[in-house]
Amino acid sequence: MDPVGKKLLDIAKDNLGYTEKSDGYTKFGDWWAKKMDSDHNPYFKTAPWCDMFLAWAAEKAGVADQAGQFAATVQHAKWFRKHDAWGTKPVPGALVFYDWSGSRDIDRIDHVGLVEKVDGRTLHTIEANADGYKLMRKTRDMDSVVGFGYPGKVKVDKYVPKHAAPAPKVEALTGPASDAKIAETTHGSPGTPLPDGPTQEILLSGALAIVLCGTVALAVGRAAASMAPTHSPIRVRKRGKHHRTPVQLPADLTPADLDAADAGTTVMPALSLAAAHQAEDREFWGRIAHLEEDEELAFWNSLHAEAALSGTHDEYASTPSFR
């Protein structure tokens, strides 16, 4: 018994006796038109429904990935062949595909059903749209059989969560990149070959997680760096030759050595507070130089000049004379 086909048979047994409406309508065709057909074509509501019933049953049984979901029998049979789940041996639970002309040609398949029991060359089946209108049991011989689809043989790639196991330690990733090192980290014994399958995926996903965290941290650091001032608020000047102290040089040191040292001297902060204030004043007045023609600024300039002149007179007036 095909294990997946058994689930389809259980659904089929529960729906035995279902009959299409007088206009050909079935709930299985209606389901296909609404859920499976991207164009929601109403044609399927009254179309031949032998394969649409199996698609519906696969959905109900939760085996759609292994049984396939088709409205056309030829495409369904080719799907089984593509998945290496096609053959000519009758097995309970297999899907059986017929060509009423007996051609054995997969492109001329007319009908599909489920094998419930095998008795020599006699098949006991459950088929939808049997006799053109009903879900019922049938007895068939092998003369019109093209082949069988075995849903239990269809291999489904199951999703394995990438975070199913803890990531490897950082030391394992930052050390020498060798198979022995990785194997020692993951299995505890040096020389073990790199694991295959899900274990390797978990290891690689751990490495990806660490790289991702590092990328995020680097981005945050760059963002913080971009917010920092590009120029120092302190005025600096470069140390020059005038800073030398006139002393006698050692025998193994020449003036050329001093010149070379000066060439690589780094900048140093200005130590004079007065020099810093003067620099700030020059910067301030330089920024407002374009306002000199402004009448209001001219007014204040005149007051400043008068105050300065008055202060000069007072200074001379208070200075005693010597005779």
> Are residues 42 and 132 part of one domain?
yes
Residues 143 and 164 in one domain: no
pTM: 0.51
Q: How many domains does the chain have?
A: 3
Greatest CA separation found in the chain? 151
pLDDT for the residue numbered 292: 56
Question: Looking at 38-42, 48-52, 112-116, 230-234, which range is the least confident one?
Answer: 230-234
Closest CA to 179 of 168, 193, 169, 189: 193
SS3 of 217-275: HHHHHHHHHHHCCCCCCCCEEECCHHHCCCCCCCCCCCHHHHHHHHHCCCEEECCCHHH
For the CA atoms of the chain, what is the radius of gyration? Answer: 46
User: Does residue 8 lie within any of the structural domains?
Assistant: yes
Statement to judge: residues 100 and 166 lie in one domain: no
What digits encode the pLDDT tens for the residues 241-292? 444 445 566 777 777 777 777 666 555 554 566 676 777 777 776 666 665 5
For residue 275, being part of any structural domain is answered with yes
Residues 190 and 148 in one domain: no
In-domain check, residue 176: yes
Examine the pLDDT at 117 and tell me if it is beyond 80: yes
Q: Verify that 141 and 278 share a domain, yes or no.
A: no
Answer with the one of 153, 176, 191 that is the final residue of a domain. 153
Q: Are 114 and 93 in contact (CB under 8 A)?
A: yes
Mean pLDDT, rounded, of the chain: 76
* 144 and 37 in a common domain: yes
171 and 54 both lie in a single domain: no
In this structure, the answer to whether residues 294 and 183 fall within a common structural domain is: no
In a domain, 263, yes or no: no
How does pLDDT run across 175-221, given as a tens digit for each residue?
A: 554 444 444 444 444 444 545 555 555 555 665 655 555 665 556 56
Q: Is residue 321 part of a domain?
A: no
Q: Is residue 257 part of a domain?
A: no
Domain co-membership, 69 together with 200? no
Q: What is the CATH number of the domain that holds 12?
A: 3.90.1720
The boundaries of the domain holding residue 178 are 159-209
Please say whether the beta carbons of 144 and 73 come within 8 A.
no
> Which residues of the chain form beta strands (DSSP E)?
86-87, 95-98, 111-119, 122-130, 134-141, 145-149, 236-238, 267-269
134 lies in the same domain as 164: no
Supply the pLDDT for residue 261.
72
Least confident among 18-22, 109-113, 150-154, 285-289: 285-289
Mean pLDDT for the stretch of residues 161-168? 52
Is 261 within the bounds of a domain? no
Contact 128, 40 (CB under 8 A): no
Q: What tokens were used for 281? A: 């004043």
Q: Measure the CA–CA gap between 320 and 317, rounded to whole angstroms.
A: 8
pLDDT at 180: 46
Looking at the structure, tell me whether residues 7 and 145 fall in a common domain.
yes
Residue-wise pLDDT tens digits, 4-28: 999 999 999 999 999 999 999 999 9
Instruction: Quickly state the pLDDT bin for 305 (edges 50, 70, 90).
Output: confident
Q: Are residues 69 and 180 in the same domain?
A: no
Please compute the mean of the pLDDT values over residues 62-91 and round it to a whole number: 97
